Amino acid sequence: MPRRSLIVEWTIGIVGLLAAGVGAWMYYVPADWFLGGLAEAWYLGMFVGAGVLLAAAFGPIARGMLREDRGFTARVTAMTALAVLAVAGAVTFGLIWII
């Protein structure tokens, strides 16, 4: 399996953060705005997408750090925790979106 570069992982992470920001912005869009009707569920979808993208970025970064450090250090544990929290957030908002 070819190794991805850090540029790809950081790009995925930045896109995930931007998706989370757009989702948070869509949550506060006024209903009388011309896309206000679409804003009812878009922010949930954006949060799900952001969680998936952030998990896809943090996971490989944590794996690379684990290979580099050859053990569970604070930075490996922090990246792994961020990846798990991103997946948990995506699943939570996905369930809210379905309900």
- pLDDT tens track for 30-60: 767 666 666 667 778 888 989 999 998 898 8
Q: What's the average model confidence in pLDDT over 21-28?
A: 79
Tell me the whole-structure pTM to 2 decimals. Answer: 0.75
Angle at 50 between CA 65 and CA 7, to 5 degrees: 40
CB 57 within 8 A of CB 16: yes
Q: What is the pLDDT of residue 92?
A: 92
Res 62 pLDDT > 80: yes
What tokens were used for 1?
């399996």
In three-state secondary structure terms, 47 is: helix
For residue 4, count CB atoms less than 10 angstroms from its CB and return exposed for 0-12, middle for 13-18, buried for 19 or more. exposed
